[in-house]
């Protein structure tokens, strides 16, 4: 029976001897590799924070002391040390979440897995502790170096530094990476701070050099003073953090539990805001992750633990199509540039960056800056393509509206993982984009259904130079191609079903499949035809604004069924019904989509079933609507 299995609460961790904490760290790494390789999950980040998390639970007393993780995907070790050691259903329905979860434990606080928010949370909690006289409590915020590229983190630091009375410890987990190597001025400065421990050694070299040369005393003093001041300006931490009014401790070896614990205890004793700069290695202790340069182990599917190779190679997916097509576009168009927010590889821009490095801009975890910078590039004659996960565009809505759309800037937004993503839970489902973006004046949005329509939509999008364009697609593998049998002014007809000759004369039904729901729309059409109905199935690639031909088609049918993998209230179907009503069309509608709710982590199939997005659900609702008419 291993040591890990005896850990039920953080108090058990605090009782361990230093030697036993090192044994615990080894067991935790073995546990993570063995279990996450079976389920998939964020492996690399958690391997990197084993000793750090142990030290936190030894120096502080959670949940009295509040731990806040940014972005939360490095919370697996925290879960293990707070009594959650059943990882058999990690990120699956009824299993542990891949992020902190209040439903799981009183030790978890912030569930949102978006980056750069932890310091604001921590600031608010610390302020509340002060107002309510809880002077015996600390707040500990763990923020990765990548999250410090987000502007919200610096807004929080500005406020935290203004009040020296709050018991708040900021742990900067500096591993040089977020999804990929961290970029920008903050990263460069942290790189410099890593050599701070060489400061005294270099100063010693200066003294020895003066002694050997026999330089005059006053000259030696001035030279040494200048050297010391120059070194301090270059490598000492005061240049960044203490000048802001924050006490700084570090850099500390984050894989030395005793050293990290000692630094945290010093920070705790200070009684005010302190930054503890901890150096860690992402993927620590697992050779495939340590040797990986593409950061494939940030988040993995099921892998062979011995090699780190996938159990089942992934099928050719949506992201790969985008990656290929944007390179082809870049070869034809020298004005096309690519922008990403610290996710060059995940969104498929790595091939573009390799071929056109001077036209690729990774701005860090700073979506707002990415969008407004794109507006500036468009003004200056370029056509920017901003590639992000759909859920992260929420963070930059104001910039899309006021900086891009208001100025009629030709900027293309490519939204990966749109719709249901499932495993990562509520904050990662890309379900809000269509309902949110429908109110942006002039914006055009495409929801391609297959590889051909994705490539076509991208080519069309970058040709628009006087308005924002959006191309959205889901996570995962491509489905089978769905060819149009007819094109009606921008609306693809993908199937027509006449009622059987022996069936009684039926009514006409129009089934509209938006993007990845086109396959379900085809099955819905086939099933409705069996009931003696005349059915047309359409899948328009460009869905916002609603095509006029689609509005006209609604008036030619007795019932319209819409299927989409976004929020149904205010979605494409709702917009179509609104436009039809404005033109006096009285056709009945059945809308199938996602509710205005936060969906728990589960597989895509489970969510589709629970939210009644299967073809049989649409058929049942359509027949019920016709029966009531």
Residue that has been written with the tokens 């050599």 in this structure = 195
Tell me how far apart the alpha carbons of residues 353 and 345 are, in angstroms, rounded to a whole number.
10
Query: Does the annotation place 146 within a ligand binding site?
Result: yes
Cis-peptide, bond into residue 545, ω within 30° of zero:
yes
| 378: region left, alpha or beta (phi > 0 left; psi from -120 to 50 alpha) | alpha
The sign of the dihedral angle between the CA atoms of 453, 609, 579, 434 is: negative
Catalytic annotation, pick one of 261, 367, 534, 564: 367
Nearest Cα neighbor of 411 from 473, 331, 325, 335 is 335
Tell me how far apart the alpha carbons of residues 4 and 22 are, in angstroms, rounded to a whole number.
11
Beta pairing, strands 247-253 & 274-279: parallel
Query: Does the annotation place 427 within a ligand binding site?
Result: no
Residue that has been written with the tokens 């059945």 in this structure = 590
Tell me how far apart the alpha carbons of residues 58 and 311 are, in angstroms, rounded to a whole number.
37
**Helix (H, G, I), strand (E, B), or coil: what is residue 563?**
strand
Strand partners, 385: 338, 412
The sign of the dihedral angle between the CA atoms of 562, 564, 568, 570 is: negative
Q: Which segments of 321-449 are extended strands (E)? A: 336-340, 360-362, 383-389, 412-416, 444-446
What does each C-alpha distance from 610 to 452, 477, 487, 546, 623 come to in angstroms?
30, 22, 34, 28, 20
Residues 6+ apart with CB under 8 A from 81: 7, 10, 13, 53, 54, 57
What does each C-alpha distance from 612 to 93, 496, 525, 616, 626 come to in angstroms?
17, 24, 16, 8, 18
Alpha helices in 333-437 (DSSP H): 350-355, 367-379, 390-393, 397-399, 433-437
Beta pairing, strands 444-446 & 542-544: antiparallel
Among this protein's residues, is 268 annotated catalytic? no
Query: Does the annotation place 99 within a ligand binding site?
Result: no
Cα 332 versus chain centre, distance: 31
Query: Does the annotation place 407 within a ligand binding site?
Result: no
Query: Does the annotation place 73 within a ligand binding site?
Result: yes
Among this protein's residues, is 395 annotated catalytic? yes
Catalytic annotation, pick one of 395, 438, 475, 592: 395
Query: Does the annotation place 76 within a ligand binding site?
Result: no
Query: Does the annotation place 113 within a ligand binding site?
Result: yes
Catalytic annotation, pick one of 167, 282, 472, 475: 282
How many other C-beta atoms are found inside a 10 Å radius of the C-beta of residue 226?
Answer: 11
Query: Does the annotation place 506 within a ligand binding site?
Result: no
Query: Does the annotation place 555 within a ligand binding site?
Result: no
Q: Quick one: DSSP state of residue 127?
A: H
Do 277 and 193 touch, CB atoms closer than 8 A? yes
Phi, psi dihedrals of residue 62, rounded to the nearest 5°? -75, 140
Do 592 and 568 touch, CB atoms closer than 8 A? yes
Query: Does the annotation place 345 within a ligand binding site?
Result: no
Among this protein's residues, is 367 annotated catalytic? yes
Residues annotated within a binding site: 73, 113-115, 145-147, 175, 286, 367
Residues annotated within a binding site for thiamine diphosphate: 73, 113-115, 146-147, 175, 286, 367
Q: Which residues are catalytic?
A: 282, 367, 395
């Amino acid at each position: 029976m291993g040591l890990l299995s005896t850990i039920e609460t953080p108090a058990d961790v605090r009782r361990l001897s230093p030697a036993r904490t090192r044994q615990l760290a080894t067991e935790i790494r073995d546990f993570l590799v063995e279990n996450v390789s079976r389920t998939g999950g964020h492996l690399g980040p958690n391997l990197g924070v084993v000793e750090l998390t142990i030290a936190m639970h030894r120096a502080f007393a959670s949940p009295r002391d509040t731990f806040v993780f940014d972005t939360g995907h490095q919370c697996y070790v925290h879960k293990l040390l707070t009594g959650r050691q059943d990882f058999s259903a990690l990120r699956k329905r009824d299993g542990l979440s891949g992020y902190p979860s209040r439903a799981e434990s009183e030790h978890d606080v912030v569930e949102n897995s978006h980056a750069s928010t932890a310091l604001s949370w921590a600031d608010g909690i610390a302020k509340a502790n002060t107002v309510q006289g809880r002077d015996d409590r600390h707040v500990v915020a763990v923020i990765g170096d990548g999250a410090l590229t987000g502007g919200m983190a610096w807004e929080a630091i500005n406020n935290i530094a203004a009040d020296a009375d709050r018991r708040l410890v900021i742990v900067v987990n500096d591993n040089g990476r977020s999804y990929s190597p961290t970029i920008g001025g903050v990263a460069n400065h942290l790189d410099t701070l890593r050599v701070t421990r060489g400061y005294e050694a270099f100063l010693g070299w200066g003294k020895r050099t003066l002694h050997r040369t026999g330089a005059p005393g006053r000259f030696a003093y001035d030279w040494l003073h200048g050297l010391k001041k120059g070194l301090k300006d270059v490598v000492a931490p005061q240049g960044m953090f203490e000048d802001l009014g924050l006490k700084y401790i570090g850099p500390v070896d984050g894989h030395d539990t005793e050293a990290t614990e000692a630094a945290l205890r010093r920070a705790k004793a200070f009684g005010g805001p302190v930054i503890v700069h901890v150096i860690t290695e992402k993927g620590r202790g697992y050779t495939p992750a340590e040797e990986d340069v593409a950061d494939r182990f940030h988040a993995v599917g099921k892998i062979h633990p011995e090699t780190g190779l996938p159990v089942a190679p992934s099928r050719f997916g949506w992201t790969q199509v985008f990656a290929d097509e944007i390179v082809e576009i870049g070869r034809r168009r020298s004005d096309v540039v690519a922008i990403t927010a610290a996710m060059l590889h995940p969104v498929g821009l790595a091939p573009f960056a390799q071929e056109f490095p001077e036209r690729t801009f990774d701005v860090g975890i700073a979506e707002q800056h990415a969008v407004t910078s794109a507006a500036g590039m468009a003004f200056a004659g370029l056509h920017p393509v901003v590639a992000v996960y759909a859920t992260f565009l929420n963070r930059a809505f104001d910039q899309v509206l006021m900086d891009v759309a208001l100025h009629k800037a030709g900027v293309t937004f490519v939204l990966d993982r749109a719709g249901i993503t499932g495993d990562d839970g509520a904050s990662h489902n890309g379900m809000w984009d269509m309902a949110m973006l429908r109110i942006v004046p002039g914006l055009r949005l495409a929801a391609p259904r297959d590889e051909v329509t994705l490539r076509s939509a991208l080519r069309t999008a970058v040709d628009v130079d006087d308005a924002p364009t959006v191309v959205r697609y889901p996570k995962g593998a491509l489905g089978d191609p769905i060819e149009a049998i007819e094109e009606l002014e921008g609306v693809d007809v993908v199937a027509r079903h006449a009622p059987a000759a022996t069936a009684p004369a039926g009514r006409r039904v129009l089934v509209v499949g938006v993007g990845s729901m086109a396959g379900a729309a085809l099955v819905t059409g086939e099933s409705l035809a069996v009931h003696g109905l005349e059915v047309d199935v359409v899948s328009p690639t460009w869905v916002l604004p609603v095509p006029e031909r689609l509005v006209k088609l609604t008036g030619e049918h007795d019932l319209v069924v819409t299927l989409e993998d976004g929020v149904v209230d205010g979605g494409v179907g709702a917009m179509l019904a609104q436009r039809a009503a404005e033109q006096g069309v009285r056709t009945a509608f059945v809308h199938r989509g996602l509710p205005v709710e936060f969906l728990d982590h589960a597989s895509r199939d489970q969510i589709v079933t629970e939210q009644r997005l299967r073809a049989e659900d649409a058929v049942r609702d359509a027949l019920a609507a016709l029966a009531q008419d």
